[in-house]
Amino acid sequence: MKDLPGKDGHAVVIFDGVCNLCNKSVDFIIRRDRKNKFQFAANQGLAGKEILAHFGIEIKEVSTIFLLENGYLYDRSAAALRIARGLGFPWSLLWPLSILPPFLRNAGYKLIARNRYRIWGKKDTCRIPTKEEREKFLV
């Protein structure tokens, strides 16, 4: 990957492509992304792997959502709150939670992440974007 994506005004959400909860989260973001701010990459796909490798993150240890925005990689609650802020009102009302220390914000996040497959299930393969969604997905 020559240039990191996400420097052109788009932010890249890197998600677990086989996680049902993660895919539902992507659907949620796509439906509310009125400014076309977000693009997506599964962490199992080439673009997702390259972005994570650029920041020294190995795919086998990934159990969180990431957001690549303006050259910075955010994870867990920081990524989720930045995504909410990017979706505008009313989701941007969650942004003030970012003043809480990360160890507090991430406690609930980690509990959900640890149990996401057991509660929401898992797909056998990564998500296939619809024809309408393809331009939003990096491969």
State the pLDDT at residue 95.
96
Crossing angle, helix 102-120 and helix 20-32, to 10 degrees?
110
State the pLDDT at residue 2.
58
State the pLDDT at residue 103.
93
Q: How far is CA 54 from the centre of its chain?
A: 16
State the pLDDT at residue 53.
92
Q: Which residues contact 134 (CB under 8 A, 6 or more apart)?
A: none
State the pLDDT at residue 112.
85
DSSP string, 94-127: GGGGGGS-HHHHHHHHHHHHHHHHHHH-B-SS--
Two structure tokens written together for 19: 């996680």
State the pLDDT at residue 18.
86
The domains of the chain are located at 11-133
H/E element, 12? strand 11-15
pTM of the entire structure? 0.88
Each residue's pLDDT tens digit in the chain (139 positions)?
557 766 567 899 999 988 888 999 999 999 999 999 999 999 988 999 999 999 999 877 667 899 999 999 999 999 999 999 999 999 999 999 999 999 999 998 888 888 887 888 887 777 778 888 888 998 7
State the pLDDT at residue 129.
83
State the pLDDT at residue 102.
93
